[in-house]
Amino acid sequence: MNEPLAERVRPKSLEDYVSQDHLVGPEGALTRQIRSGNIPSLIFWGPPGTGKTTLAQIIAQESGRPFFTLSAINSGVKDVREVIDKARKSDGLFTTKNPILFIDEIHRFSKSQQDSLLGAVEKGWVTLVGATTENPSFEVIPALLSRCQVYTLNSFGKEELIRLVERAIKRDSWLASKDIHLEETDALLRLSGGDGRKLLNIFELVVSAAETDSIQVTDERVLELVQQSPARYDKTGEQHYDIISAFIKSIRGSDPNAAVYWLARMIAGGEDVKFIARRMLILASEDIGLANPTALVMANATFRAVEVIGYPEARIILSQCAVYLAASPKSNSSYMAIGRAQEAVRKTGDLSVPLPLRNAPTRLMKDLGYGDAYKYAHDFPGNFAFMEFLPEGLEDANFYTPGANSREKGLADFLKARWKDKYDF
């Protein structure tokens, strides 16, 4: 029994697949594509252990296509070309069912490696299915990304994780031979972090350690066994998410000492330098925002710099940015503003654009009143003219509230001077 449990109980069909109903449910996007036989090249983006590899294999199985696979960790341009050549010579070349080429961790492919895929995808020699835990907008070259549909996979929820365990108990012959009682599952679920593969690995460890075939799975037993193993920084596992969370919260909490400590932990663990820089780029807008707009400029410069430099020198740039962000005043006003505006859109739907704000490129549109009564701000004193810019029904909506910091106080004064009672902060 050398094969891990997660591999032994890997689903072979859509009926066996757990979770991702938005993709593989009865009316999911992938379900419809498999049913029609028209499967485009795809990028699966999601956390570890959410079934990206399994889904690629099921697509090939259910569509009757040859399946080829590469790992971006140990494959070069030569390997890519060899696999594409094999795929072209497969039976799929002479049918409408071209082969599936699955590339795990496609974000680790260099630009030249990704470039080597373009011709085969463009000419339809293969249907590419890539899997990535990183945002493909950053990690996949635009030319390849434009030829693929990007589908997001979500972490498993509590009920789905329990279903995975119960399914494994029934379907794995080794587990089925034992008398297993799931008395408590909180520890299993928490330690899995929504990662199905990790959940099954932990569960297998608990069952393997039992001295009898009658096994009571409890939180105490799970924690006792898991904590026997020394903690390591797993770039795709729980510590990856816990430590980046501690790093972000330390910067948000204006503690540069804690920020550089957690940064050092990630560097020591070999964390992707762009992942760290990208998270600081997001934080610079979400948590600092208009309290110090230069923070976004600094974070963006950091991201571009570490792309070029890499480790070990990148640690200096990352540290400079982390300390600067931690020592900056904080405001989430713009982050909250877009959240409120999106909520209004969800509640009110597609409200009509007021006629004065509409474009009038044709005579008919002008005759219908498009653009009438629009006040061109630069024609008025102070480059400001009072008029309504929101659609009917939202005239009194207030999405943006300035933060309590010196920079946004100036913005508040500016807005109140022009809008009077409309902006009553």
Coil/strand/helix, residue 185:
coil
Mean pLDDT calculated for residue range 80-108: 76
Cβ atoms 259, 247 nearer than 8 A? yes
Are 23 and 31 a contacting pair, CB within 8 Å?
A: yes
Average pLDDT over every residue of 139-161: 91
pLDDT per position as a tens digit, 347-370 = 888 888 888 888 888 888 888 888
- At residue 13, φ and ψ (nearest 5 deg) are -145, 165
Report pLDDT for 231.
45
For the chain, the domains span 20-152, 158-226, 238-326, 346-422
Checking DSSP bridges between strand 127-132 and strand 214-217, what pairing results, if any? unpaired
Parallel, antiparallel, or unpaired for β 127-132 and 42-45? parallel
Alpha carbon distance 6, 361 (integer Å): 60
**Rounded mean pLDDT of 98-120?**
88
The 3-state DSSP class for residue 301 equals helix
Cα 390 to chain centroid, rounded: 32
Instruction: Please tell me whether residue 219 adopts helix, strand or coil conformation.
Output: helix
Question: Contact 5/203 with Cβ under 8 angstroms?
Answer: yes
C-alpha triplet 339, 340, 344: angle, nearest 5°: 115
Q: What dotted CATH number matches 158-226? A: 1.10.8
Would the pLDDT of 6 be above 80?
A: yes
* 291 — pLDDT class (breaks 50, 70, 90): very high
Q: pLDDT above 70 covers what percent of the chain?
A: 94
Place 172 in a pLDDT band, splitting at 50, 70 and 90: very high
Residue 151 CA to residue 164 CA, distance in Å, equals 22
Kindly write down the DSSP assignment for every residue of 344-363, as one continuous string.
Answer: HHHHH-SPPPPGGGS---SH
Q: 234-238, 281-285, 340-344: which has the minimum mean pLDDT?
A: 234-238
Q: Is residue 52 within 8 Å of residue 46, measured between CB atoms?
A: yes
End-to-end CA distance of the chain: 67
Question: How do residues 179-226 score in pLDDT, each as one tens digit?
Answer: 999 999 999 998 888 899 999 999 999 999 888 889 999 999 998 888
**Does 9 score more than 90 pLDDT?**
yes
Instruction: Taking residues 239-265, report their average pLDDT.
Output: 91
- In the chain, count H helices and then E strands: 21, 7
pLDDT at 300: 97
Q: Which two tokens stand for residue 25?
A: 């449910």
Tell me the C-alpha distance between 263 and 324, whole Å: 13
- Look up tokens 């029904």; give the residue: 393
What pLDDT score was predicted for residue 417?
85
**pLDDT higher for 183 or 78?**
183
Rounded to the nearest integer, the mean pLDDT of the chain is 88
Q: In this model, does residue 92 exceed pLDDT 50? A: no
pTM: 0.59
Q: Is the pLDDT of residue 88 over 80?
A: no
- pLDDT at position 278, please? 94
Mean pLDDT confidence for 128-149: 90
What confidence tens digit (pLDDT) does each residue in 25-49 have? 888 889 999 888 889 999 999 888 9
Q: How would residue 233 be classed by pLDDT, with cut points 50, 70 and 90? A: low
Tens of pLDDT, residue by residue over 370-388, are 888 898 889 889 898 888 8
pLDDT of res. 227: 66
pLDDT in tens, 323-355: 999 999 999 999 999 999 999 998 888 888 888
Does CATH number 3.40.50.300 belong to domain 20-152? Answer: yes
Report CA-CA distances (Å) from 139 to 105, 145, 275, 284, 307.
Answer: 10, 9, 10, 21, 11
pLDDT at 93 over 80: no
Of 6-10, 77-81, 379-383, 409-413, the one with minimum mean pLDDT is 77-81
How would DSSP label each residue in 59-116?
Answer: HHHHHT--EEEEETTT--HHHHHHHHHHHHHSGGGGSS-PPEEEEETGGGS-HHHHHH
Sign of CA pseudo-dihedral 360, 362, 368, 369? positive
Equal CATH topology for 158-226 and 346-422: no
Which residue bears the tokens 């956390």?
47
C-alpha 79/C-alpha 299 separation (Å) is 36
Residue 199 CA to residue 49 CA, distance in Å, equals 9
Q: How would you label 242-255 residue by residue, b for 16+ Cβ within 10 Å and e otherwise?
A: ebbebbbebbbeee
pLDDT tier, 230 (very low <50, low <70, confident <90, very high otherwise): very low
Of residues 115, 103, 108, the one with CA closest to residue 141: 115
In Å, how far are 110, 133, 274, 317 from 302, measured between CA atoms?
Answer: 20, 22, 9, 6
- DSSP, collapsed to helix, strand or coil, labels residue 182 as strand
The CATH T-level fold of domain 346-422 is post-AAA+ oligomerization domain-like (1.10.3710)
Instruction: Say which residues have a Cβ less than 8 Å from residue 181's Cβ, sequence separation at least 6.
Output: 214, 215, 216, 217
CATH fold for the domain made of 238-326: Zinc Finger, Delta Prime; domain 3 (1.20.272)
User: Average pLDDT for residues 153-169, to the nearest whole number?
Assistant: 93
